[in-house]
């Protein structure tokens, strides 16, 4: 029987509790230098992309005073509305490339990893505790409840508390829904900016070493652009 996202949330919470007791979790903070990012955007891509960075910064500034649910909605909607979905082979001429938020805004296009990374980084920049967030790799069923067709996909999960059902931020479904209302998603594994990998199933077709390498690369590039996620 496929592992559901609700079941994954219980597994994640159990492992997080163990790590917390062992001192293995620390708060992740975001140091965001949007002026630096705007200068890079202007130099590399022109004023239109610099304006996108200004809009992103303004959205985060407005969202900072909102309740958590509204922050999630603002961040989710910002990228879903501004960026069109395209496969990496179309955007980057590579089979699998993880873009920074600036790179995605510059192209105006990205795949599921790019959407998820931009939303995750934005929520951390708003001061949301990293232990409440997960980047979750899933198999997404395509074509309705009876379909046997699925594809690799990434979403962001938000956990209100240690035993809460996660809310799912996704580019395929614009509405933020609890995991129990996303039966089309079957988790494989999840991770955070702390480099913690959580196995979401007894077996996985994913290559954790390759995935972690891409994650480290995008974190380094984000830091060079002015958005550093750190412990």
What is the per-residue burial (b if ≥16 Cβ within 10 Å, else e) of 194-221? bebebbbbeeeeeeeeebeeebeebbee
Angle between helices 47-63 and 34-45 (to 10 degrees): 160
Q: What is d(CA 74, CA 66) in angstroms, rounded to the nearest whole number? A: 9
Q: What are phi and psi of 152, to 5 degrees?
A: -65, 140
Mean pLDDT taken over the chain: 84
Closest CA to 131 of 231, 5, 212: 231
Beta bridge partners, 84, equal 109
- pLDDT tens-digit map of 126-151: 999 988 999 999 999 988 888 889 99
pTM of the model: 0.83
Q: Is the pLDDT of residue 177 over 80?
A: yes
pLDDT at 180: 94
Tell me which CATH code domain 5-20+28-221 carries.
3.10.620.30
Give the position of tokens 């891509």. Answer: 45
Which of 85-94, 133-142, 193-202 tops mean pLDDT?
85-94
Residue 85 in contact with residue 38, Cβ under 8 Å?
no
Q: How many residues are given for the chain?
A: 231
Q: Output 146 or 110, whichever has higher pLDDT.
A: 110
pLDDT at 12: 47
- pLDDT tens-digit map of 25-40: 334 445 689 999 999 9
Q: Is 127 exposed, middle or buried (CB count within 10 Å of its CB: 0-12, 13-18, 19+)?
A: exposed
Beta bridge partners, 168, equal 157, 177
- pLDDT tens-digit map of 69-86: 999 999 999 999 999 999
Domain boundaries, the chain: 5-20+28-221
H-type helices in the chain, by residue range? 5-21, 34-45, 47-63, 68-82, 88-91, 101-107, 112-125, 208-225
pLDDT at 189: 83
């Amino acid at each position: 029987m496929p592992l559901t996202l609700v079941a994954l949330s219980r597994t994640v919470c159990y492992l997080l509790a163990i790590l917390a007791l062992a001192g293995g979790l620390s708060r992740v903070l975001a140091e965001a230098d949007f002026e630096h990012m705007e200068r890079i955007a202007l130099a590399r891509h022109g004023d239109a992309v610099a304006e996108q960075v200004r809009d992103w910064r303004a959205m985060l500034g407005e969202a900072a005073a909102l309740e958590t649910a509204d922050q999630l909605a603002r961040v989710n909607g910002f990228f879903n509305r501004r960026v069109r979905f395209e496969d990496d082979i179309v955007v980057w001429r590579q089979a699998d490339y993880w873009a920074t938020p600036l790179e995605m805004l510059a192209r105006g296009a990205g795949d599921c990893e790019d959407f998820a990374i931009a939303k995750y980084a934005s929520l951390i920049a708003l001061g949301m505790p990293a232990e409440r967030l997960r980047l979750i790799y899933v198999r997404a069923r395509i074509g309705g409840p009876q379909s046997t067709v699925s594809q690799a996909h990434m979403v962001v999960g938000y956990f209100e508390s240690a035993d809460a059902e996660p809310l799912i931020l996704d580019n395929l479904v614009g509405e933020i829904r609890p995991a129990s209302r996303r039966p089309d998603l079957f988790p494989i594994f999840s991770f955070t900016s702390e480099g913690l990998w959580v196995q979401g199933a007894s077996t996985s077709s994913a290559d954790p070493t390759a995935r972690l390498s891409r994650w480290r690369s995008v974190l380094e590039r984000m830091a060079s652009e002015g958005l550093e996620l750190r412990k």
